[in-house]
Amino acid sequence: MGKKQLLIVFSVVAIGLVTGIGLFVTDRDANASFAMSEMTVKKLTCGSCVSNITTALAAVAGVESVEVSVTTGRSQVLFNPAIVDAQQIAKVVSDAGYPATVTRQFSNEQYLAMQNEEAKLAEIYVAKIGQRLLARDEFDQLVTQRLIAGGLQNRPEMKQQIVKQTWQSLKQRILLIGAAETNRVVVQDGEVELKIKQMQQQMPNFDNYVKAKYVSSDDFFRQIKEDMIINKNIQENVLAGISNPNQRQTRFNQWFQDLIGNSPVIIYDAALKQATRSTGGCGSGSGGGCCG
C-alpha cells in the first residue's frame, strides 16, 4: 500500500449512544483485507485532541482511516489485521494521553458485510438511525435491563411492548445526541461529576437507584453526560434568545419534528420491524423500511 491517508470525521456524524457507532463510508477496493474496531476514548476536549490522536495513529503501520467524535468520546479505526490489531491501536491512543478501550471489533468479513449486504448487516445491527448503526447486543441489553427493572423478565408476553418502548426512546436519544454532535457540543467530565454529586445529595437512595437502573457506574456516568450534552445543545442552539415558555415549547417541537423528518431510519431486524409495525411505526417493507 502507498502512503497512508487518514480520514478524520470531527463531531459531525451522529455516532454517539452506548457503544454502537456508525460505519465508515469508503470507496476502497472491496477485496481489501480491512477490519474495524470501535473504541471509547476519554479526556477529549477539543479538536486538538482529535488531531493528536490522528497524528499518533498516522505513525502506526496498518492503520487505514480514523474517525473520532469529541462530543461522544467514541472512535472507529479501519485497519489491516495482518499488520496491527485493535488492542495495539487502543494502546497507542492511550499512550498519546487519551485512555482508550476497545468496545467492539469486526473482522474483514463482517466489515465487508456491513458495507454490502443488509442481511448480513442484521446479524450485527438492528437498525440505522440517521448515520448511526444500532448494535444488536446494545439494543438487547437495554431491553433486558428494562424487563428486569420492571420485574417482567418472567413475562414473555410483555417483551414486545418493552421492545417498542426501548426502540422509541433510544431512537429519540440517538437523534438528539447526533444533533448535539453536529453542533460540536462538549461537556467536560468535571461538569458531569459535579452533577452526579448534586444528585447524590438530593436522592437518599442514590446508590440503589444506580444499581437498579444501570449496568455499571460507568454506564450511569455516560448516560448523565449524554443527557447534559443533549440539554446543552437544546438550550444553546435551539432555544437561545427565547424566554417565553410557550414560544420555547413551540420552537422545540418544530425543531424536533424537523430533526425526525430529516433523519432516515432503517430497521434491519425482523422482530423489531414486527414490533413497530404493530403500532404503525416505521420498519415496514422488505427493504428495511424508513420513517421520518
Domain count along the chain:
2
202-241 b/e (C-beta count within 10 Å ≥ 16 → b):
eeeeeeeebeeebeeeebbbbbbbbbbbbebbbeeebbee
Residues 106, 148 share a domain? no
Average pLDDT score, the chain: 82
User: Are residues 210 and 110 part of one domain?
Assistant: no
In a domain, 50, yes or no: yes
* pLDDT at residue 241 tops 50: yes
Quote the pLDDT of residue 277: 67
Does 126 map to a domain?
no
pLDDT for the residue numbered 170: 92
Q: Has residue 16 been placed in a domain?
A: no
Residue with the three cell numbers 474517525: 67
Q: What is the pLDDT of residues 98-109, one digit of tens each?
A: 999 999 899 998
Q: Indicate whether 287 and 146 sit together in one domain.
A: yes
Report yes or no on 97 lying in a domain.
yes
- φ/ψ (deg, to 5) at 131: -100, 5
Segment among 37-46, 103-112, 183-192, 267-276 with least mean pLDDT: 267-276
Longest dimension (CA), the chain: 60
Please tell me whether residues 167 and 270 are part of one structural domain.
Answer: yes
Intra-chain end-to-end CA distance of the chain, in Å: 42
Strands 63-69 and 125-129: unpaired
Overall average pLDDT of the 108-113 stretch? 84
Shared domain for 93 and 180, answered yes or no, is no
End position of a domain, from candidates 119, 153, 188: 119
Query: Are residues 263 and 130 in contact, defined by beta-carbon separation less than 8 angstroms?
Result: yes
**148 and 287 within one domain:** yes
Query: 60: domain range?
Result: 35-119
What is the layout of strands, in order, in the sheet containing 132-135? 132-135, 125-129, 265-267, 290-291
Q: Are residues 49 and 167 in the same domain?
A: no
Can you give the pLDDT at residue 117? 65
Instruction: Say whether both 146 and 238 belong to one domain.
Output: yes
Looking at the structure, tell me whether residues 278 and 158 fall in a common domain. Answer: yes
Examine residue 136 and state whether it is found in any structural domain, yes or no: no
Any idea which of 55-59, 205-209, 280-284 has the lowest mean pLDDT? 280-284
**For residue 85, pLDDT beyond 80:** yes
User: Is residue 127 in a domain?
Assistant: no
Its pTM stands at: 0.67
pLDDT at 20 over 80: no
As a whole-number percent, the residues of the chain with pLDDT over 90 amount to: 48
What distance lies between CA 11 and its chain's CA centroid?
12
pLDDT (mean) for 7-16:
33
According to the model, what pLDDT value does residue 278 have? 53
Confidence of residue 8 (pLDDT cuts 50, 70, 90): very low
* Residue 26 confidence class, pLDDT cut points 50, 70, 90: very low
172, 284: one domain: yes
Would residue 26 count as lying in a domain? no
CATH number of the structural domain spanning residue 99: 3.30.70.100
In a domain, 1, yes or no: no
Do 265 and 146 fall within a single domain? Answer: yes
pLDDT value at position 224? 95
Give me the pLDDT at residue 118, please: 66
- Looking at the structure, tell me whether residues 219 and 269 fall in a common domain: yes
- Supply angle C-alpha 183, 95, 10, rounded to 5: 15
Region 188-201: mean pLDDT is 95
> Which pLDDT score is estimated for 32?
65
Mean pLDDT to the nearest integer, 193-199: 95
Instruction: Tell which wins on pLDDT, 184 or 123.
Output: 184
How many other CB atoms are found less than 10 A from the CB of residue 174? 27
